[in-house]
C-alpha cells in the first residue's frame, strides 16, 4: 500500500497569522509564509496517491493515508489541504480535519495555528469546532496549548464552540485545570455568544467557587 512521506519530527515553529474578526488583538497580522518546498512536494505526492485510491474506490487506503498525514509537521498541513482541493478532493480535506481533531492537544493546537497562519481560517475554525466535542479536560488542554502558542484568540474560538454545543454547567467545568487562565477566556467566549450568555456563565462560575 502507498504511504505518506514520513518527516522526522513535527516542526517546532509556532506561527501567528490572520486574526478572526472580533477576536483578541495580539501581534500585527503577518502575511502567510511561503510553504517549504518539501511540503509542496509531499502534498503533490499525497494528492496523486489519494486521487488514484479514490479512482480505485479504495476508501480504506485513502483513510490510512489521511491518518498518516496527521503526523506531518504542522506547517505541511495547509499545503496539503490546498493541493487536495486543487485535485478535486475537498471531501478529503474534511476527513483530514476530522482526524486532526483527534490528535493530542498540543499537536492539535499547532495544527490549528498553522492553518490559520496560512490563511485557512475556515479550516482552522472547523477543526476547533470538532475539537470542542472532546472531553472537557482535553478541551481545556487544547485551549491552554493555543495560549502557549500565543493564540488566545483561537482559544476563545474553541471555547465559543464549546458553549454553543454544551450546557452552561458542562462548559463551566472546562476552567478546572487552570482557573486563572481559562476563566477569563470562557467569559470572553460567552460574550461572543451573547451578553446574556456571559452573565449566565459568570453566575455559574461564581456558584462553583
Confidence class for position 68, pLDDT limits 50, 70, 90: very high
**Per-domain residue ranges for the chain?**
36-90
Check residues 173 and 28 and name the one with the higher pLDDT: 173
Check residues 132 and 10 and name the one with the higher pLDDT: 132
Confidence class for position 4, pLDDT limits 50, 70, 90: low
Tell me, what's the pLDDT at 29? Answer: 54
φ, ψ (nearest 5 deg) of residue 103: -65, 160
Residue range 165-179: mean pLDDT, rounded = 94
Q: Which pTM does this prediction carry?
A: 0.83
Tell me, what's the pLDDT at 32? Answer: 74
CA 174/CA 71 separation, integer angstroms: 27
Tell me, what's the pLDDT at 34? Answer: 82
In terms of C-beta density within 10 A (0-12 exposed, 13-18 middle, 19 or more buried), how is residue 12 classed?
exposed
Residue range 58-84: mean pLDDT, rounded = 97
Tell me, what's the pLDDT at 134? Answer: 97
Amino acid at each position: 500500500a502507498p504511504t505518506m512521506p514520513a518527516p522526522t519530527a513535527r516542526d517546532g515553529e509556532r506561527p501567528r497569522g490572520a486574526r478572526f474578526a472580533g477576536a483578541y488583538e495580539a501581534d500585527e497580522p503577518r502575511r502567510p509564509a511561503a510553504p517549504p518546498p518539501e511540503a509542496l512536494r509531499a502534498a503533490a505526492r499525497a494528492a496523486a496517491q489519494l486521487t488514484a485510491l479514490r479512482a480505485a474506490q479504495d476508501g480504506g487506503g485513502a483513510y490510512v493515508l489521511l491518518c498518516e498525514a496527521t503526523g506531518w509537521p504542522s506547517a505541511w498541513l495547509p499545503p496539503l489541504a490546498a493541493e487536495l482541493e486543487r485535485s478535486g478532493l475537498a471531501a478529503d480535506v474534511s476527513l483530514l480535519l476530522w482526524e486532526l481533531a483527534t490528535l493530542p492537544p498540543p499537536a492539535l493546537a499547532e495544527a490549528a495555528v498553522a492553518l490559520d497562519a496560512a490563511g485557512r481560517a475556515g479550516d482552522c475554525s472547523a477543526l476547533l469546532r470538532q475539537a470542542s466535542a472532546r472531553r472537557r479536560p482535553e478541551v481545556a488542554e487544547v485551549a491552554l496549548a493555543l495560549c502557549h502558542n500565543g493564540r488566545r484568540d483561537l482559544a476563545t474560538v474553541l471555547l465559543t464552540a464549546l458553549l454553543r454545543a454544551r450546557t452552561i454547567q458542562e462548559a463551566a467545568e472546562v476552567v478546572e485545570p487552570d482557573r486563572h487562565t481559562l476563566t477569563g477566556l470562557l467569559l470572553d467566549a460567552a460574550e461572543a455568544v451573547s451578553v446574556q450568555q456571559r452573565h449566565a456563565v459568570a453566575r455559574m462560575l461564581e456558584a462553583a467557587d
